[in-house]
A and B are shown apart, each in its own frame.
Chain A
Amino acid sequence: MSAVVAEHDHHDHEHEHHGPEKGILRWIITTNHKDIGTLYLLFALVMFFVGGTMALVIRAELFEPGLQFVDPNFFNSMTTMHALVMVFGAVMPAFVGLANWQIPMMIGAPDMALPRMNNMSFWMLVAGVLLIASTLFMEGGAPAAGWTFYPPLVMQTGKAFPFAIFAVHLLGVSSIMGAINIIATIFNMRAPGMTLMKMPLFVWTWLITAFLLIAIMPVFAGAVTMLLTDRFFNTSFFNAAGGGDPVLYQHIFWFFGHPEVYVMILPTFGVASTIIPVFARKPLFGYSSMVYATAAIAFLSFIVWAHHMYSVGLPIAGELYFMYATMLIAIPTGVKVFNWTATMWKGSMTFETPMLFSIAFVVLFTMGGFTGLMMSVAPVDFQYHDTYFIVAHFHYTLVPASIFILMAAGYFWLPKWTGHMYNERIGKLHFWLSVVSVNILFFPQHFLGLAGMPRRIPDYAVQFADWNMVSSIGAFMYGFSQLLFVYIVIDTIKGGTGEKVTDEVWEDASKHGLEWTLPSPPPYHTFTTPPEIIPTEHVG
Chain B
Amino acid sequence: MSEDLHGKNSRLVRKLVLIVVLMFGFGYALVPLYDVLCNIAGQNIKLEGTDVATVNEAAYAVDENREVRVEFITSVNERTPMTFRADTPSINVHPGQYYTVSFYARNNSDKPLKAQAIPSISPGLAEEYFKKTQCFCFTTQTFAANEEKTMPVRFVVDPKLPERYKTITLSYTFFDRTNSIEN
Query: How far is A316 from B43 in the complex, measured between Cα atoms in Å?
Result: 11
Considering only CB atoms, which chain B residue lies closest to A111 in the complex?
B1
Using Cβ atoms and an 8 Å threshold, which residues of chain B touch A221?
A: 24, 27
Q: Determine whether the beta carbon of A4 is less than 8 Å from that of B9.
A: no
Check A218–B5 contact: CB distance below 8 A.
no
On whether A180 and B24 interact (CB within 8 A), knowing A241-B77, A245-B45, the answer reads: no
**Residues in B whose Cβ lies below 8 Å from that of A313:** 43, 124
B22 to chain A, nearest CB (A): 8
Chain A residues with CB below 8 A from B49, complex form? 243
**Would you list which residues of chain A between 214 and 256 have a CB under 8 Å from chain B?**
214-223, 226, 234, 237, 240-245, 248, 251-252, 255
A240 proximity list for chain B (CB < 8 A):
46, 118, 173, 175
In the bound complex, residues from chain B placing their C-beta under 8 Å from that of A234 are: 180
For chain A, which range describes its interface: under 10, 10 to 19, 20 to 34, or 35 or more residues? 35 or more
Docked-complex contact A176 and B20, CB < 8 angstroms = yes
B23, A188: Cβ atoms closer than 8 Å: no
From A255, A315, A317, give the contact of B30 (CB < 8 A).
A255
Chain B residue nearest to A7 in the complex (CB): B2
Contacts of A219 in B (CB 8 A): 23-24, 26-27, 30
- Across the interface, name the chain B residue whose C-beta is closest to A234: B180
Closest to B29 in A: A222
Most buried by A among B24, B49, B180: B24
Q: Does B91 contact A (CB under 8 A)?
A: no
CB atoms of B23 and A216 under 8 A apart: yes
Provide the B25-39 mask, 1 if CB < 8 A to any CB of A, else 0. 011101100100010
Interface segment, B11-19, B59-67, B152-160?
B11-19
Q: Is the CB of A215 within 8 A of B27?
A: no
Closest A residue to B23 using CB positions: A218
- 16 CB < 8 A contacts A-B: A114-B9, A114-B13, A184-B9, A188-B5, A188-B8, A218-B23, A218-B24, A219-B26, A222-B28, A237-B31, A241-B175, A241-B176, A241-B180, A243-B49, A244-B46, A315-B41
Q: Which residues in A have their C-beta under 8 angstroms from that of B31?
A: 226, 237, 248
A-facing residues in B116-142 (Cβ within 8 Å): 116, 118, 124-125
Q: Please, which residues of chain B bring their CB within 8 A of the CB of A24?
A: none
* A218-B20, A244-B46 known, 20 other contacts, Cβ within 8 Å: A3-B3, A4-B5, A179-B16, A180-B20, A188-B5, A188-B9, A215-B23, A218-B24, A219-B24, A219-B26, A221-B27, A222-B27, A226-B28, A234-B180, A241-B177, A242-B47, A248-B31, A252-B30, A315-B42, A315-B125
Q: Interface readout for A108-136 with B: 1 if CB under 8 Å, 0 if not? A: 00000110000000000000000000000
Distance to closest chain A CB from B169 (angstroms): 13
Binary contact track A66-103/B, C-beta < 8 Å → 1, others 0:
00000000000000000000000000000000000000
Question: Is A401 on the interface with B (CB-CB < 8 A)?
Answer: no
Total residue contacts A-B, CB cutoff 8 A: 102
Q: How far is the CA of A223 from the CA of B24 in the complex (A)?
A: 9
In the complex, the chain A residue whose C-beta lies closest to that of B24 is: A218
Interface pair A223/B27, CB less than 8 Å apart: yes
User: Does B51 lie at the interface of the complex (its beta carbon under 8 Å from any beta carbon of A)?
Assistant: no
Of residues 82 through 106 on chain B, the ones whose CB sits less than 8 Å from some CB of chain A are none
Which of B13, B45, B49 is packed against the most chain A CB atoms within 10 Å?
B13
* A324 at the binding interface (Cβ < 8 Å): no
How many Å lie between the Cα of A315 and that of B23 in the bound state?
26
Q: How far is the CA of A70 from the CA of B5 in the complex (A)?
A: 56
Does B21 interact with chain A (Cβ within 8 Å)?
yes
Q: Is B163 an interface residue (CB 8 A)?
A: no
Please give, as numbers and ranges, the residues of chain B lying within 8 Å of A317 by CB-CB distance. Answer: 41
- What CA separation (Å) do A313 and B34 show in the bound complex? 14
Cβ–Cβ < 8 Å partners of B110 in chain A: none
Contact B43–A215 (Cβ < 8 Å): no
User: Chain A residues with Cβ under 8 A from B175's Cβ?
Assistant: 240-241
- B180 and A242 contact, CB distance less than 8 A: yes
Q: Is the CB of A3 within 8 A of B2?
A: yes
Specify which chain A residues have a CB less than 8 angstroms from the CB of B41 in the assembled complex. 315, 317-318
Chain B nearest CB, measured from A521 CB (Å): 25
User: Which residue in chain B gives the minimum CB-CB distance to A211?
Assistant: B19
Distance in angstroms from A14 CB to nearest chain B CB is 15
Contact between chains at B21 and A243 (CB < 8 Å) = no
In the bound assembly, the distance between CA atoms of A211 and B111 in angstroms comes to: 54
User: In chain A between 298 and 338, which residues have their CB closer than 8 angstroms to a CB of chain B?
Assistant: 313, 315-318
A251 to B36, CA, bound (A): 14
B21 and A218: CB pair below 8 A? yes
Question: A315 and B43: CB pair below 8 A?
Answer: yes
**How near does chain B come to A533, taking the closest CB pair, in angstroms?**
18
Q: Does A183 contact B (CB under 8 A)?
A: yes
Which residues of B lie under 8 Å from residue A113 when comparing CB positions? 5, 9
Chain B's nearest CB lies how many Å from the CB of A506? Answer: 33
Q: Does A480 contact B (CB under 8 A)?
A: no
Q: Is the CB of B4 within 8 A of A4?
A: yes
Please measure, in the bound complex, the distance between the C-alpha atom of A240 and the C-alpha atom of B118, giving whole angstroms.
Answer: 7
Q: How far is the CA of A119 from the CA of B83 in the complex (A)?
A: 59
